[in-house]
Amino acid sequence: MIATPEPDHDRKTELMAIDQSKSGIKGLVDAGLAKLPRVFVHDHLNLNIKSGPAPDNVKVPVIDFAGVNTDSTRRAMIIDEVRNACMKWGFFQIVNHGIPVTTLEEMIDGIRRFHEQEPEAKEKLYSRDESKKVTFNTKIDMSQTMAAYWRDTLTCVMAPNPPDTQELPETCRDIMLDYTNNVMNLGTKVFELISEALGLNPNHLKDIGCTEGLYVMGHYSPACPEPELTMGTGIHTDSGFLTVLLQDQIGGLQVLHDNQWIDVTPIPGALIINLGDLLQLISNDKFISVYHRVVARNIGPRISIASFFRTYIQPQNALRMYGPIKELLSENNPPIYKETNVVDYFKFKHLKGVEGTSALAHFKIC
C-alpha cells in the first residue's frame, strides 16, 4: 500500500499542512472537504484478495464468558474455545465478559466527545512525541512514502505508570480511568485462559509480564468522501501480546483468514480480542497473530478503542528477554524463534514498516 509519487504532488507540503493545522481529519471534513487529499490515497489495496461477508460457516469465533469463574465444566469449555480461536484465527469476540454495557457505551461517547470538541481544545495535545503519555494526532508518516490513514487518534499510556489524572482530557477523563481499569482486569482473566489453553499454570503469562503495560488508542474516522481510495488502518499485525478492541456498530474491521478478508461484524456489548506478534513468538507458533485492517466508510464517524497489552515503552524492559516458553518445547517441538527483548522487537518492526509485513520472520532461528 505504498502511494506512487506524482510529479505534481508535493507530499511533504501536504502532510505539513495537515499536521500544522492540529485539527486532524475532522478539521478537513468540517472545512467542507469533498475530494480526498493525495496523501490519503492508497494505490494498491490487494484487490486480488476476496473481501466482505464470509460464508455462513466461516465467522470470527464468538465466545460466551458466562460462568468462567463459577463453573469448572463451563470454564473448561471456554478454554477449549479460546484454544481453537487462538490456533485458527488469532481473533475472537467475547460476550458476558463482565464489563457493563453502559461502561462500553460511555467510553465510545467519551472518545466521540473528545474528537468533536472545538479544535482549540484539542490543539494542546496534538503531538508526535512518543515520550508523552497523552497525545492526539492524525496517522500520517512524515518520513516514509506510505499513504496516510483516514483516522484521528487520542493515545493514552495507562499502565504501568499512568499519566497524572489532569493530563487526561476532561471530556473523557473519568470514563477513561473506569474503562481501562475494567480492561486491565479483563486482560488478566483472558491471559489466564490463554495460559491454561497452552497447558500452563493460569498465572504463567501474567508472571512473565504480559499484563503489565496498557497502551490505549481512541480512533475517530469521519465519513470519508472517497472511501474506495483509502484505508482507516492498513494491513498489519499487532506487535504486543494481546489487544482488547471496543468498536461501535458501523463496522469496517476485517481479518485475513484463509486468504479472504472476513468482516468482524459488530455485536452489541461484545469486545474483540486479538493476539499480537509477541504472543505468537512465546507460544512458538502454537497461537497466531494475524493480519487485519479497517476499511474506510462513507458513513460515520466510526469510533473504536484499541487497548494494547504491551510493555516496550519502558527502557528497563530492554533487560527482559522473550523467547518460546520452555514448558512448551520438546524434541518434537524445538524453538522456532530466537530470544529478543521488546525494545529491539519494536525498533525492528518500526524500521521495517508495519503495513503488510510481519517482523516475526526476522527473529526465526535459521
In angstroms, the Cα distances linking 52 to 141, 183, 257 are: 28, 29, 12
- State the pLDDT at residue 139: 82
What count of other Cβ atoms lies within 10 Å of the Cβ of residue 247? 24
| C-alpha cell read off for 201 | 499454570
Say whether 91 sits in a helix, a strand or coil.
Answer: strand
* Beta strand residue intervals within 122-247, DSSP E: 134-138, 152-159, 214-221, 231-236, 242-247
| C-alpha cell read off for 349 | 518492526
- State the pLDDT at residue 65: 98
- State the pLDDT at residue 44: 64
Q: Which residues of the chain have pLDDT under 70?
A: 1-9, 44-56, 142-145, 312-318, 352-357
Rounding to the nearest 10 degrees, give the CA dihedral for residues 140, 25, 167, 249: -110
